[in-house]
């Protein structure tokens, strides 16, 4: 995030290069922290230890899971090549995981990190139940999916243009707020009136698809109008001309409408599919305003339909943004459900991987 913040968004080349630098140290650190052996420092360089004391930590590992898409090609390539290499040299089964599905599987992992130790990560004692409605909202994806069981799902809808997080990031840039935009919009919105401006919600033929590009353009036009300029006025000069009150009102109105757009779909799907669990993944899931809207609209529906309150459970905030633990969790389910591992000599990346079960 620090590397990308200066550019107002993820720069694919920088991301790929820092993946190369980080991947081996990160894997080694994870192995060291998770292994129950006593060798917590680099035991290979510690000559005082006898051979028998040495542990390379790989003995504890049953398999390797890696995401091969969707995502940025350069970064995926680094991860996939590392995973293929370890699968071959350490002789472990290799599981290929769809990144977007991985976001949902973070909900099957413990919600309490108990001091942050990797050794306390485990599958949740109370697992989400099927049918399970999943919402994935991040900087790269906006999908709504119904799962009837593990590996048995239907993609109901997705964005036809920008992802919702991307819209947050672009509006933040327009308002002169730092990257990543979501949390900064949320912060700014606290001082604003969410009903100050009437921004449009896209109406698409398919009830579960969304579009955010019209909303983004509407915010640009609104900001231009607020400072008394027309559509030719360059967007990068707008922020300095807006007052703090105008920025707060634009942030609050945009945030309300953008999140209402996805919450509307969740409510429609909830009525249609009567899920036993609703789970959410991706960076935007951390939004307090999203939680407020869901808490306001879902339990009421649930009360009417089942006569009982609907508990929405959220995953640990650390697991909502991109992380390796969610990929490991779905890999673990693949192994538990006897899915065949992939060939480590031929796994390719799939930057535009779609969701299909
Ligand atoms: O899942 P993620 O970490 O990475 C992707 O796969 O994209 O999501 C990052 C996105 C960014 O667009 C960021 O602005 C957004 O999640 N985000 C939020 C919040 N925290 C992060 N959006 C709205 N409210 C938040 N609190
Ligand atoms: Zn992601």
Predicted confidence at residue 46, as pLDDT, reads 47
Contact 342, 350 (CB under 8 A): no
Q: State if residue 289 touches ligand 1 by the CB under 6 angstroms criterion.
A: no
Q: Is 321 in the pocket of ligand 1 (CB under 6 A)?
A: yes
Question: Cα–Cα distance between 296 and 315 in angstroms, integer?
Answer: 19
pLDDT over threshold 60, residue 114: no
More confident residue, 112 or 257: 257
Q: Give the Cα-Cα-Cα angle 77, 79, 84 (nearest 5 degrees).
A: 90
Name which of 218, 174, 226 is nearest 198 in CA terms.
218
How far does the centroid of ligand 1 lie from the alpha carbon of residue 46, in Å?
42
- For ligand 2, the distance from its centroid to the CA atom of residue 165, given in whole angstroms, is 10
- Strand ranges across the sheet with 132-137: 152-158, 142-149, 132-137, 277-281
The whole-model pTM stands at 0.88
Least confident of 41-55, 125-139, 190-204, 249-263: 41-55
Nearest Cα neighbor of 66 from 351, 349, 352, 354 is 349
Amino acid 165: pLDDT? 94
For residue 347, pLDDT over 50 is answered with yes
Residue 209 has pLDDT above 50, yes or no: yes
Residue-averaged pLDDT of the chain: 88
The interaxial angle of helices 213-226 and 164-174, nearest 10 deg, is 10
> What is the pLDDT, as a whole number, of residue 2?
77
Q: pLDDT tens across 323-345, in order?
A: 999 999 999 999 999 999 999 99
Under a CB-based contact definition with an 8 Å cutoff, are residues 139 and 122 in contact?
Answer: no
pLDDT, one tens digit per residue, over 301-321 is 555 555 555 556 677 777 888
Among 26-35, 111-120, 130-139, the range of highest mean pLDDT: 130-139
What is the average per-residue pLDDT within 266-275? 92
Residue length of the chain = 357
pLDDT > 70? residue 24: yes
What angle separates helix 244-273 from helix 181-189, to the nearest 10 degrees? 110
Q: Is 304 left (phi over 0), alpha (psi -120 to 50) or beta?
A: alpha
Q: Cα of 228 to ligand 2 centre, how many Å?
A: 38
Give the bridge partners for 278, in sequence order. 133
pLDDT of residue 53: 58
Q: Distance between CA 240 and CA 334 in Å, rounded?
A: 51
What the block records as the tokens of 287 is: 């939004």
CB 61, CB 55: distance < 8 Å: no
Q: For ligand 1, is residue 287 a contact (CB within 6 Å)?
A: yes
Residues with CB under 5 A from ligand 2 (ion): 138, 322
Q: How many CB atoms lie within 10 A of CB 91?
A: 9
């Amino acid at each position: 995030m620090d590397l990308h913040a200066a550019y107002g968004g993820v720069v694919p080349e920088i991301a790929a290069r820092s993946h190369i630098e980080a991947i081996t140290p990160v894997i080694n650190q994870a192995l060291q922290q998770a292994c129950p052996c006593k060798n917590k420092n680099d035991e290979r360089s510690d000559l005082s230890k006898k051979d028998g004391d040495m542990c390379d930590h790989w003995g504890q590992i049953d398999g390797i899971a890696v995401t091969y898409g969707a995502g940025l090609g350069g970064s995926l390539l680094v991860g996939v090549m590392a995973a293929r290499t370890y699968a071959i040299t350490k002789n472990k089964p290799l599981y290929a995981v769809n990144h977007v599905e991985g976001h949902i599987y973070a909900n099957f992992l413990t919600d309490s990190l108990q001091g942050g130790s990797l050794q306390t990560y485990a599958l949740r004692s109370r697992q989400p139940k099927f049918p399970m409605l999943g919402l994935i909202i991040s900087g790269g994806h906006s999908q709504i999916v119904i799962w009837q069981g593990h590996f048995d799902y239907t993609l109901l809808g997705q964005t036809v243009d920008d992802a919702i997080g991307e819209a947050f990031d672009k509006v933040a840039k327009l308002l002169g707020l730092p990257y990543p935009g979501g949390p900064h919009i949320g912060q700014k919105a606290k001082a604003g009136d969410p009903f100050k401006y009437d921004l449009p919600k896209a109406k698409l033929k398919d009830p579960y698809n969304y579009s955010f590009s019209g909303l983004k353009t509407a915010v640009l036009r609104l900001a231009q109008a607020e400072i008394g300029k027309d559509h030719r006025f360059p967007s990068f000069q707008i922020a300095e001309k807006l007052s703090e009150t105008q920025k707060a009102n634009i942030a609050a109105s945009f945030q309300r409408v953008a999140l209402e757009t996805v919450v509307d779909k969740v409510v429609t799907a909830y009525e249609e599919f009567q899920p036993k669990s609703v789970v959410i993944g991706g960076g935007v899931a951390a939004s307090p305003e999203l939680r407020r809207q869901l808490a306001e609209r879902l339990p009421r529906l649930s009360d009417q339909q089942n006569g009982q309150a609907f508990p929405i459970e959220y995953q640990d905030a650390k697991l909502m943004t991109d992380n390796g633990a969610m990929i490991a969790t779905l890999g673990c389910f693949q192994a538990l459900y006897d899915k065949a591992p992939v060939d480590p000599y031929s796994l390719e990346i799939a930057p535009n991987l779609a969701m299909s079960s």
